[in-house]
Amino acid sequence: MIQSLLIANRGEIACRIIRTARSLGIRTVAVYSDADAKALHVRQADEAVHIGPSPARESYLVGAKIIAAAKATGAEAIHPGYGFLSENAEFAQAVIDAGLIWVGPKPASITAMGLKDAAKALMAAAGVPVTPGYMGENQEPAFLAQRAAEIGYPVLIKAVAGGGGKGMRRVEAAADFADALASCQREALASFGNAHVLIEKYIQRPRHIEVQVFGDTHGNVVHLFERDCSLQRRHQKVIEEAPAPGMDEATREALCGAAVKAAKAVDYVGAGTIEFIADASEGLRADRIWFMEMNTRLQVEHPVTEEITGVDLVEWQLRVASGEPLPKQQDELSINGWAMEARLYAEDPAKGFLPVTGRLERFAIPSAVRPTRWLHEGGTAPMETAPQVRLRVETGVAEGDTISPWYDPMVAKLICHAETRVEAIVGLSKMAWSTRIWPVKTNAAFLGTLVVMPDFARGMIDTGFIDRHLDEVTADVEMPEWLCDLVAQRLASRDPAPATFGFRLNALSQTTVRFSDRAIAWTGRTDGRVSYDQEAYPIVTDEGDALLVTMQGATWRLAPERVSGGLGGAASDGAILAPMPGKVIAVEVAAGDIVAKGQKLLVLEAMKMEHALTAPFDGTVAELTVAVGAQVQVEALLVRVEKAE
């Protein structure tokens, strides 16, 4: 087994790799850019090497600097993570040439699968069904338009060097082809330095289904079943799960068999993913699933496979890279339960998913949810059992860290494993909705809402799902009135009431809590103390100068400016406000009068009762705004008493 490992990546995947390496007793070396000097992966690694300025092009994408860092620290091997240099065959070769171990497939396998057209041709030759289309050399616009017409609209133009959902254009009709082609080629050249495209039939009701494969240096290749990643936005995965809903054993066998065949065709070593596109218009059928591309690396969504198989894929990567055979044979692998992952991003779904940056003043993701108790069907005795629900968080940040604008805005992956899909959905939605991140906006509310959509729960999914339901799932979560009431109640019941709020509870009181952006009136009978069930409402926490409220994935921080009301009570500044709407029936003082603490100032009639308002301290009546007979609104300033020196 290798003794030391450099991780050529950042964020959650760097932390993920460090965790397994450490459990295997491997020394870890992190690399970092200027922006990441204090990043979690740097704090977690045994050693860290600075490799340059914040832009990835000048740091994480500079192979020579990374290899130099490995040499300088005596690291034996390099793990590339995903993204960055993970699918760069030249870098893999340079690592090997430098006498280091490359934790990944052979450079030749990366090259073979690197371009989508060559990969498809190779797979077709190996007998793996590929998405119908044109994938040849001729790039003449007129020729490509002819091919598109033969394939039949709609078609998808894809950059052969594309990735991350970029360099793709769906074309509905022949009239739009030329423009779409030109724009796709421009983007492909700019993003990938290669304008080459292929044309594919646009699959109807497409589902993205992929198979995790693993090879070793002893000629073994196994698959670890499938994942469904159909919930996408702009061709980028949002929710991933394993196994795929609606998959039957025969289809699974055909699909996973094709994946193993694909991996063997490129002499595959290490972790890889074969991506397929399925036409799910009539459910999943083996003859309607086609090879799309291979990702020759560990995938973002690998945890769902780990959860259902019990395999640590990073451990397997490190063992295979050390020359060991695969720890398990195909017949020793099986599916246990259901796992679902959601990608948590620092972004604002209500503003077109605009990326958000900033300091994570609060960052808390639940590591457990209170199990939902299910009443079993049938039987006379109410048999209650708590389902086994496991939550897992993969993140590269901690509270107090900052989301910088330099890299991918993914802040964490939320993963839930349970016995059944429905339980995994419930667990994941609870997890997303209880996530408390402030003040940085995230898509937590969106994620929680997405997975409880009825059609999603029924497994009626395809890659257009999110777009079709966009308005429903991106609406801003408003703080509901009952929650406002709860917060006000919480403030009113503070015992002892902090001096800054300057109010006392009386036998019958109405308390008005005013925040910077909203006024909340709460009425309740309080016998000196309001009982507040913190257990029942863990969504509200008292931070002293403010309350933090989390609901449905949204978090608000409510800093009270003033809490007023209560009979005989007053704000600390001596402002006596109307505790409720009513009529002034007596005024016992005049402006300029000297008053003693507790002295009656005026009487308000409201709710068929008379309420005497008294001076909060010894002082002078500095302001008197009402006369007998005045109708006043809640919180209207009635009298202001200036404190005696």
40, 277, 551, 604: residue in contact with ligand ADP (rule CB under 6 A):
277
Are the C-beta atoms of 450 and 467 separated by less than 8 Å?
no
Please give the Cα distance from 86 to 80 (Å, whole number). Answer: 5
Q: How far is the CB of 557 from ligand ADP (least distance, A)?
A: 30
For the window 370-409, what string marks contact with ligand ADP as x by the rule CB under 6 A? --------------------------------------x-
Name residues whose C-beta falls within 8 Å of residue 85's C-beta, 6 or more positions apart in sequence.
Answer: 8, 60, 61, 63, 66, 91
Please give the Cα distance from 390 to 264 (Å, whole number). Answer: 34
Q: How far is the CB of 314 from Mg ion (least distance, A)?
A: 21
User: Does 165 sit near ligand ADP (CB under 6 A)?
Assistant: yes
- What is the helix (H) or strand (E) element at residue 63, kind and residue range? helix 63-73
Q: How far is the CB of 192 from ligand ADP (least distance, A)?
A: 6
Smaller CB distance to ligand ADP: residue 162 or 502? 162
Q: How far is the CB of 210 from ligand ADP (least distance, A)?
A: 8
Compute how many residues bind Mg ion; rule: CB under 5 A: 1
Smaller CB distance to ligand ADP: residue 239 or 520? 239
User: Does 196 sit near ligand ADP (CB under 6 A)?
Assistant: no
Smaller CB distance to ligand ADP: residue 200 or 216? 200
28, 251, 435, 463: residue in contact with ligand ADP (rule CB under 6 A):
463
Are the C-beta atoms of 298 and 105 separated by less than 8 Å?
no
Q: Rule CB under 6 A: which of 228-267 touch ligand ADP?
A: 232, 235-237
User: Does 156 sit near ligand ADP (CB under 6 A)?
Assistant: yes
Q: How far is the CB of 465 from ligand ADP (least distance, A)?
A: 11
Smaller CB distance to ligand ADP: residue 3 or 236? 236
Task: Report the phi/psi class of residue 20: left, alpha or beta, with left for phi > 0 and alpha for psi in -120 to 50.
Answer: alpha
**How many helices and strands in the chain, by DSSP H and E?**
17, 39
Q: Which stretch in 162-170, 253-261, 382-390, 620-628 sits in contact with ligand ADP by CB under 6 A? A: 162-170
62, 292, 415, 580: residue in contact with ligand ADP (rule CB under 6 A):
292
Distances 250 to 207, 257, 338, 491, 621 between C-alpha atoms, Å: 18, 10, 19, 60, 86
Distances 366 to 153, 227, 414, 436 between C-alpha atoms, Å: 46, 24, 9, 9
- What's the start-to-end Cα distance of the chain, in Å? 78
Specify the residue for token string 């044309």: 199
Q: Rule CB under 6 A: which of 513-532 touch ligand ADP?
A: none
User: Does 131 sit near ligand ADP (CB under 6 A)?
Assistant: yes
The 3-state DSSP composition of the chain as helix, strand, coil percent (nearest 5) reads 30, 30, 40
293, 306, 341, 348: residue in contact with ligand ADP (rule CB under 6 A):
293
Are the C-beta atoms of 39 and 10 separated by less than 8 Å?
yes
Chain centroid, CA 156 distance in Å: 28
Bridge partners (DSSP) listed for residue 332: none
Q: How far is the CB of 123 from Mg ion (least distance, A)?
A: 14
Instruction: Give the active site residues.
Output: 297
Could you tell me the two tokens for 408? 């991918």
Compute how many residues bind ligand ADP; rule: CB under 6 A: 29
The contact set with Mg ion (CB under 5 A) reads 275
The contact set with ligand ADP (CB under 6 A) reads 82-83, 131, 156, 158, 162-165, 200-203, 206, 208, 232, 235-237, 275, 277, 292-293, 295, 299-301, 408, 463
